Structure 1
Amino acid sequence: MRQDNQLIVLTHLSQLLTFITGFGGLLVPLIIWATQRHNVYAMDEQGKRIVNFQISMFIYSLICIPLILALGLGIVGLLILCLLSFIYPIINAVRASHGETPKYPLSLNFIS
């Protein structure tokens, strides 16, 4: 295994593709993690955290949609999720560049 902090940082930042293209925030990190988890030190652990975070954000977004129609609270929920989805990949990319372990809030553990 090789140490490649740049690829790990790129994997964290690739989540931001959702804001640029509308998709890719889950697909690109999933592909990088699946192809490099056995080759890059710490990619398996951090890739799992990224994919779990992206799946969690998707599920929370789906929960907010009916809340828009029912209570109007879904809009606030979607705005909070949008901020979390933008801020935490950047924070964790910086942490990964320093060799620290990333922490994603509200992340459910789908892949362990």
Structure 2
Amino acid sequence: MENQPYNNPPHTPPYSSLSQSDERMWAMFAHLSALAGFAIPFGNIIGPLVVWQIQKDKSAFVDFHGKESLNFQITMAILYAISFVLVFILVGFGLLVILGLVSLVLFIIASVKANNGEYYKYPFTFRFIQ
């Protein structure tokens, strides 16, 4: 059997196999699932990762929001770790409070935007997943 070239395009999500309301709902869940971090260690990363992995092939809109949420939560986890280390020199306490408030406000804004069918990019986020 001879090698045949791969004729299909690279893996890209279809434009949409979900209804618009389902797309908006799953995109919102990609952001809100970060609340799992309050109950489960690293739940703020696991929640968006699970939603993104389940729904990314069904909608480009959900794929976008899942990646955004995951990138933001990974960035926040890194910043929390740095702040935790800075607690030992008493600077980290304030940073932890500020990070917590900023994180909460930004992912609520992202959830509302996703539910309204808008694309939202978190500010100050490293793009680990493209």
2:71 to 24, 49, 52: 52
Q: Mapping of 1:92-107 within 5 angstroms?
A: 92-107=110-125
Instruction: State whether residues 24 and 62 of structure 2, in contact with CA within 8 Å, keep that contact through their aligned partners in structure 1.
Output: no
Q: Distance between the aligned counterparts of 2:85 and 2:31, measured in 1?
A: 30
Q: CA deviation at 1:105?
A: 2.5
Contact 1:5 1:96 in 2 (8 A): yes
Give the structure with the higher percent helix.
1
Post-superposition shift, 1:25? 1.5
Contact 2:24 2:115 in 1 (8 A): yes
1:18 and 1:10 mapped to 2: Cα distance? 14
RMSD: 1.4
CA distance in 1, matches of 2:124, 2:93: 18
**Structure 1 residues 87 and 52, CA, compared in 2 at 3 Å: closer, same or farther?**
same
Output the TM-score relative to the length of structure 1. Answer: 0.88
The Cα of 1:68 is off from its aligned counterpart by: 1.2
Cα distance in structure 1, aligned partners of 2:60 and 2:128: 21
Higher RCO (CA-CA < 8 Å; seq separation 6+): 1
Partner of 1:81: 99
Contact 1:46 1:101 in 2 (8 A): yes
How many residue pairs end up in the alignment?
110
Based on CA coordinates, which of the two structures has the bigger radius of gyration? 2
Q: Report the equivalent of 2:52.
A: 33
Off by >6 Å, runs of 4+ in structure 1:
none
Match of 1:90 among 104, 108, 123: 108
Percent sequence identity over aligned pairs: 35
Cα distance in 2 for residues equivalent to 1:87 and 1:74:
20
- Mapped partners of 2:44, 2:77: distance in 1: 10
Give CA-to-partner distance per residue, 1:4-57, whole Å, 9 cap, x none.
2111112211112223x1432210110110121010231111111111100000
Q: CA deviation at 1:66?
A: 2.0
Aligned partner of residue 126 in structure 2, secondary structure:
coil
